[in-house]
């Protein structure tokens, strides 16, 4: 029996852009995106950099937390 210890590709607390410009945490991205780094349409989920967040913190909020 093969035991897979696959780790999430996305970091839980980091913000990402996927699903046509939506912003969400790694942990809120859903199982598929979290482990493959691809959103529901197969596009790569892009990480939001600390620079971008610091430049405009109000803009970068997870859409799936609240
Ligand atoms: Zn979130």
The structural domain count of the chain equals 1
pLDDT at 12: 95
Q: What distances in angstroms separate CA 4 from CA 1, 7, 27, 41, 53, one per listed residue?
A: 10, 9, 20, 25, 34
Whether 64 shows a pLDDT value over 70: the answer reads: yes
What is the 1 CA–ligand 1 centroid distance (Å)?
Answer: 35
What is the 4 CA–ligand 1 centroid distance (Å)?
Answer: 26
What is the 47 CA–ligand 1 centroid distance (Å)?
Answer: 13
Query: If pLDDT is split at 50, 70 and 90, which confidence band does 66 have?
Result: confident
DSSP assignment, residue 2? Answer: P
Beta strands 22-25 and 15-18 are: antiparallel
pTM for this prediction: 0.84
Query: If pLDDT is split at 50, 70 and 90, which confidence band does 5 have?
Result: confident
8 closest CA partner among 17, 22, 20, 25:
25
Q: By residue range, what is the domain housing residue 15?
A: 1-66
Query: If pLDDT is split at 50, 70 and 90, which confidence band does 2 have?
Result: low
């Amino acid at each position: 029996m093969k035991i897979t210890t696959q780790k999430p590709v996305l970091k839980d607390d980091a913000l990402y852009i996927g699903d046509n410009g939506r912003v969400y945490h790694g942990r809120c991205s859903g199982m598929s995106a979290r482990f493959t780094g691809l959103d529901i349409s197969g596009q790569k989920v892009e990480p939001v950099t600390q620079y971008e967040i610091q430049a405009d913190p109000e803009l970068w909020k997870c859409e799936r937390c609240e």
